């Protein structure tokens, strides 16, 4: 295995372990709290700690990355995650665990920010979609494997936390095999203020950033409010436990093929096609309601196309901005994803409160509105300034 492949393999391995720890914590802490008699509303509120952590740390990441490099930033985030996971069994307290989840949100985001930016900046243009889709696939696989460790809580409540911490520690040690690198700083130095770089990145790449917001909005809405819709339409919890994974499985199965297609064809067209198919799939679910088989098929098809919106959004963002703005772009991807994850359940929940029959219609209209916004022909005139020579084979507007 050459150095470049080893480098990429280590980064996606770290991301897989990170996905596993996140996929484990959500159901594990919910189960422990439920067994302890903690109110379900507090249980749900507690889960937002990770997203809050992302929002807290995001504005402060760019300068440390430029000063210390990719490897050190990833190691710092990984160390926070390892220590936080190991501390859960020390004290069984709602407030203490909230702080630990907040720290894990911070550590995971630091880790992902470093690895995302490293991959997007080092990937050749013709393999960008493929590499970022492999990144998303690795996280998705880890996230899907995480809940498999939850039953260990019946043997010992501390066991799942220790196993997750040890796996994260193992991944952390592999980072010593990598040589530290730094993002491009020459152009960034001309724009001293971080807020200026954020503004410039938003101006050039807001269509791509909308996709990360959309993915957070969609994923959180489905997982938090679809069970409510299902129960109100006489579907049981067992049916929900089968239907929801269909979306995740669809995303895992089609993540890499969709990323490769976005390298071979204009990425914007692949994104628009995916959004429209996703919207149609949820409309189909509305028509087939309340058929369990209909929901499974519709969710699987939707997952195949819109389950990759985050990785497609990252690749598209990297297409639209110059390299010196990639760190700011990756920070904004995380921020927009977290905002979508917080807004989605609340807004869709408000709609469900008035009429639960509008659930899938709202999701479909949301996806269609995003596709209409991205489809505008004059989105990024500045593209020509930065990519007149580089982008002839990537994106046709």
Tell me what pLDDT residue 207 has: 92
pLDDT at 377: 66
Q: Do 185 and 62 form a contact (C-beta atoms < 8 A)? A: no
Higher-confidence residue: 26 or 343?
A: 343
> How far apart are alpha carbons 63 and 15 in whole angstroms?
22
Q: Are 374 and 272 in contact (CB under 8 A)?
A: yes
The dotted CATH code for 194-387 is 1.20.1250.20
Average pLDDT of the residues in 264-279? 93
Asked if the domains 3-183 and 194-387 are classified in one and the same CATH topology, the answer is: yes
Q: Which residue has the higher pLDDT, 146 or 45?
A: 146
Assign residue 37 a region: left if phi > 0, alpha if psi is -120 to 50, beta otherwise?
Answer: left
Asked if the 3-183 domain carries CATH number 3.30.70.1900, the reply is no
pLDDT digits (tens, 9 = 90+) for 128-153: 888 888 888 888 888 778 877 878 87
pLDDT per position as a tens digit, 314-364: 889 988 988 888 888 888 988 898 888 878 877 887 787 777 678 889 899
DSSP single-letter state for residue 118 = H
Q: Is the pLDDT of residue 396 over 80?
A: no
Contacts of 130 (CB under 8 A, 6+ apart): 256, 259, 260, 263
Q: What residue ranges do the domains of the chain occupy?
A: 3-183, 194-387
**DSSP string spanning 176-215?**
GGSPP-----TTGGGS--HHHHHHHHHHHHHHHHHHHHHH
Residues 312 and 259: beta-carbon distance below 8 Å: yes
């Amino acid at each position: 295995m050459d150095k470049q492949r080893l480098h990429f393999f280590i980064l996606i391995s770290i991301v897989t372990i990170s996905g596993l720890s996140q996929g484990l914590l959500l159901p594990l802490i919910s189960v422990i709290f439920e067994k302890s008699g903690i109110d379900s509303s507090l249980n749900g509120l507690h889960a937002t700690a990770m997203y809050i952590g992302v929002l807290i740390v995001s504005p402060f990441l760019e300068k440390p990355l430029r000063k210390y490099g990719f490897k050190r930033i990833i190691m710092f985030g990984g160390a926070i995650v390892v220590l936080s996971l190991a501390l859960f069994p020390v004290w069984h307290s709602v407030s203490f665990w909230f702080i630990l989840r907040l720290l894990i949100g911070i550590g995971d985001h630091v880790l992902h920010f470093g690895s995302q930016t490293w991959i997007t900046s080092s990937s050749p243009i013709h393999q960008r979609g493929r590499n970022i889709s492999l990144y998303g696939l690795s996280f998705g696989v880890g996230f899907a494997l995480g809940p498999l460790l939850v039953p260990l809580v019946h043997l010992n409540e501390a066991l799942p936390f220790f196993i997750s911490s040890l796996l994260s520690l193992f991944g952390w040690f592999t980072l010593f095999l990598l040589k530290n690198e730094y993002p491009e700083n020459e152009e960034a130095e001309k724009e001293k203020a971080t807020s200026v770089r954020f503004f410039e990145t938003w101006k050039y790449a807001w269509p791509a950033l909308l996709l990360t917001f959309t993915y957070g909005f969609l994923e959180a809405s489905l997982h938090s409010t679809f069970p409510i819709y299902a129960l109100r339409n006489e579907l049981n919890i067992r049916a929900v436990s089968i239907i929801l994974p269909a979306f995740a499985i669809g995303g895992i199965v089609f993540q890499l093929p969709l990323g490769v297609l976005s390298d071979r064809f204009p990425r914007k067209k692949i994104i628009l096609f995916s959004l429209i198919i996703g919207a149609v799939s949820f409309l189909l679910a509305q028509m087939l309601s309340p058929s369990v088989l209909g929901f499974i098929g519709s969710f699987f098809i939707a997952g195949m196309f819109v389950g990759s919106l985050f990785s497609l959004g990252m690749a598209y963002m990297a297409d639209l901005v110059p390299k010196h703005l990639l760190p700011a772009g990756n920070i904004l991807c995380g921020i927009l994803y977290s905002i979508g994850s917080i807004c989605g359940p609340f807004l869709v929940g408000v709609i469900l409160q008035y009429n639960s029959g509008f659930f899938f219609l709202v999701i479909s209209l949301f996806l269609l509105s995003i596709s209409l916004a991205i489809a505008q022909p004059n989105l990024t005139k500045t593209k020509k300034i930065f990519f007149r020579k580089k982008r002839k084979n990537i994106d046709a507007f």
